[in-house]
Amino acid sequence: MGYYNEGYPPNPHRRKKRKYYWVLSMLVGLGIGVFLAVQVIPSFAGTQNEKTESFNKVNMEQNGQGEIPGEIINTSVNVDVSTQITEIVNKVTPAVVGVSNLMESADYWHQSEVSEVATGSGVIYKVKDGNAYVVTNHHVIEGADEVEVILYNETSIPAEIIGSDIFTDLAVLRMDASNVEKVIDIGSSGNVKVGEPAIAIGNPLGHMFSSTVTQGVISGKERTIPQDFDQDGRADWQAEVIQTDAAINPGNSGGALINISGQLIGINSMKINQEAVEGIAFSIPIDFALPVMNELENTGEVVRPYLGVEIYSLDEVPQAEWKDTLKLPKDVEGGVYVWTVEPLSPADRAGLKQLDVITALDDKPTMSMIDLRKILYQEKKIGEKVKVTYYRNGKRKETTFELGAQ
């Protein structure tokens, strides 16, 4: 015998009992199904809907959006930056111009002719009494006999050089305003932040590529770049500039550096031109340029205080000469030495002599020629008195200058 019942005859009473159990099971199952359909499933669905709405609400709040009753919205925000930049460029471009440096020369027959020797860019920043005023770089118009301004629509207009300044590399031109469509909006370079967008507009490589637009960011603020005006290998000045990686090429000089609002924040001036260097260009901050532009516009020149001496930095002199020739004490770490004194100049009247070493102006150290010039040019005024600390034959002395006009 095995464990199966197949050897036993069927039991009629047992079969009947099974039938009743089947009916009862069906009724119980039907009741459970009705209960689930009526109570559990709607409750579960409601919970899931609440979770979904809660999730959407959190997403909307995280994206800065308020709750919109009865509406499910797309929480992703797609700002079309390229369209914004295009609109800004279209607005600003008419205020950016080309500048042609024209010089006279004689041909073989000794007849005078005018030819273009340099090109650059400029920015229309003011219209007054029928005249338009353009700011550009000093090095763009340096030595020019004539200057032409080329508008964005290729219209050429003769312009007059009102004045220029080598130290700031700025120049102001004046021309007829009849064809001028746009004056640029002036911003503030003091508000720029490193990493914010910057747009350069100008005429690289001449008028063939007029109104070229390049985009980048502000790479650095308050950079100082040495300037050698007379090409003698010694820095004569340090320009304070904004650094940007927006492409600036020859011909861009004098063009506009604008912010994302289309406001002028700098005058494009220079770039580092080395094979291994890319994306390092510089602009003159507009906050620094505006006072110079106003002075050039009103007087035609920038007049600065001066001492009347030819000076050189001590770091150009061998250390042995500090002791043997200049007889400086060991505690003197820097300064400028006087090479010549102009007759009847403030320095001459104050008694300065050749090989005197100036170490301070109004107790502010002058460790180099640039330090001295910055104090004079940025902190002092013509006619103002200044205390000069200097060494002569190893002895510390002081005298007072009344600053003259350069």
- pLDDT tens for 308-334 read 999 989 988 898 899 899 999 999 999
Q: Are 335 and 364 in contact (CB under 8 A)?
A: no
Query: In DSSP terms, which residues pair with 252 in a beta bridge?
Result: none
In sequence order, what DSSP letters do the residues of 25-45 get, joined into one string? Answer: HHHHHHHHHHHIIIIIHHHHH
Going by the DSSP 8-state scheme, the letter that residue 328 receives in this structure is -
Q: In the prediction, which pLDDT does 237 show?
A: 81
Give me the active site residues, please.
Answer: 139, 169, 253
Question: Of the candidates 185, 187, 279, 284, which has an alpha carbon nearest to the alpha carbon of residue 227?
Answer: 284
Q: Of 167, 276, 285, 277, whose CA–CA distance to 220 is shortest? A: 285
SS3 state of residue 265: strand
Tell me the pLDDT of the chain averaged across its residues.
81
Reported as type and span, the H/E element at residue 294 is: helix 286-299
28-37, 104-113, 208-217, 383-392: range with lowest mean pLDDT: 28-37
Q: Do residues 196 and 259 touch, judged by C-beta distance below 8 A? A: yes
pTM of the model: 0.71
Position 387 pLDDT exceeds 90: yes
Side-chain-side CA neighbours of 36 within 13 Å: the count stands at 6
The pLDDT score that the predictor gives to residue 55 is: 37
What's the confidence (pLDDT) of residue 231? 78
Can you tell me the mean pLDDT for 76-87?
65
Could you read off the pLDDT of 114-135 as tens digits, one per residue? Answer: 888 889 999 999 999 999 999 9
User: d(Cα 132, Cα 123) in Å, to the nearest integer?
Assistant: 10
Residue 367 pLDDT exceeds 50: yes
Task: Encode pLDDT of 194-228 as tens digits.
Answer: 999 999 999 887 766 778 899 999 999 878 787 88
d(CA 337, CA 332): 12
Residue 261 has pLDDT above 80, yes or no: yes
Task: Examine the pLDDT at 65 and tell me if it is beyond 50.
Answer: no
pLDDT of 399 reads: 94
- Res 111: pLDDT: 72
Residue 275 has pLDDT above 70, yes or no: no
Q: Check residue 37 and report its DSSP letter.
A: I
CB 360 within 8 A of CB 367: no
